C-alpha cells in the first residue's frame, strides 16, 4: 500500500539529514541499553493508524487514506559536574561550592537532549523544501503533536523517550493478487418467452434488417 512508500520516504529523509546526530532504526533494531543510547540517540517511525472515509473514494477506487504515523525519539543523559575541582585537594570551599552549583543531574540532561532531538526532527520534516518527503506528490504531511514519557533511571544514566505524531494522506488502489486468477462463474440463460408471454425460439429467432 502507498502508506508504506510514505514511511520509507520519511525514514530516508530523516536518515539523510541525521549527520551522525541520531540513528534511524526499525522497531526490531531499537536498543534500550542506556550506554548504547548515550552514544547515539535513536529515532524510529511506524504506522499507527489510518482511516478510509467513504467520501474520499469511489467503488473502483482509488481510495483516500488518512494516515497517522508515530515518530519515537529516545535519548540518554548523564549528570555533569566539574570533577577537576571536586577531585582537587587544593580547591577552596568557594570553588567546590561553585562547581556543585554548576552541576546538573542526569534527568535534566536527558530532558534537554530529548527537547533538542524532537525539535530537530520536527524542523527537518516541516521544512518547506521537505513537504513532499522526497515523493513525486505532496502527501500533506503535518506534525500535529509531541508528548514525553517519564524518565527511566539506568544506573548513572537516565533514559527519556517521546513521540511526535505526523499525519499524511495517500491514495490507495486495489491491484489484486499477481498470478491469482479470479473465480470463474458459468451462467446458462434460457430465453423461452418474450414480455408478451409468447414463446421464443432463441436459436432460430431472426433479426430483420434495420431493427
Q: Where are the domains of the chain?
A: 2-172
Give CA separation, 193 vs 188, 190, 207, in Å.
16, 9, 16
pLDDT tens for 9-60 read 999 999 999 999 999 998 777 787 888 998 999 999 999 999 999 887 677 7
- Higher-confidence residue of 138 and 27: namely 138
Cα(first)–Cα(last) distance of the chain, in Å?
50
CA distance 69 to 133: 13
Nearest to 145 by CA among 131, 160, 125, 159: 125
CATH number belonging to the domain at 2-172, selected among 3.40.50.720, 3.30.2000.10, 1.10.1040.10, 3.40.50.1970 = 3.30.2000.10
Q: Answer whether residue 77 shows pLDDT above 60.
A: yes
Share above pLDDT 70 across residues of the chain, in percent, rounded to a whole number: 73
pTM score: 0.72
Amino acid at each position: 500500500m502507498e502508506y508504506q512508500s510514505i514511511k520509507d520516504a520519511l525514514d530516508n529523509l530523516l536518515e539523510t539529514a541525521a549527520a551522525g546526530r541520531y540513528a534511524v532504526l526499525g522497531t526490531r533494531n531499537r536498543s534500550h541499553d542506556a550506554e548504547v543510547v548515550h552514544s547515539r540517540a535513536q529515532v524510529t517511525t511506524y504506522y499507527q493508524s489510518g482511516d478510509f472515509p467513504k467520501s474520499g473514494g469511489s467503488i473502483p477506487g482509488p481510495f483516500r487514506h488518512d494516515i497517522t504515523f508515530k515518530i519515537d525519539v529516545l535519548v540518554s543523559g548523564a549528570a555533569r559536574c566539574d570533577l577537576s575541582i571536586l577531585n582537587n585537594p587544593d580547591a577552596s570551599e568557594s570553588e567546590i561550592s561553585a562547581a556543585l552549583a554548576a552541576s546538573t543531574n542526569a534527568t535534566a540532561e536527558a530532558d534537554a537532549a530529548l527537547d533538542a532531538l524532537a525539535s530537530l526532527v520536527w524542523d527537518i520534516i516541516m521544512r518547506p523544501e521537505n513537504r513532499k518527503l522526497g515523493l513525486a506528490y505532496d502527501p500533506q504531511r503535518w506534525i500535529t503533536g509531541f508528548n514525553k514519557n517519564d524518565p527511566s533511571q539506568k544506573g548513572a544514566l537516565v533514559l527519556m523517550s517521546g513521540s511526535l505524531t505526523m499525519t499524511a494522506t495517500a491514495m490507495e488502489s486495489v491491484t489484486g493478487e499477481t498470478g491469482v486468477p479470479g473465480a470463474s462463474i458459468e451462467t446458462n440463460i434460457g430465453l423461452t418467452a418474450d414480455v408478451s408471454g409468447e414463446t421464443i425460439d432463441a436459436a432460430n429467432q431472426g433479426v430483420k434488417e434495420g431493427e
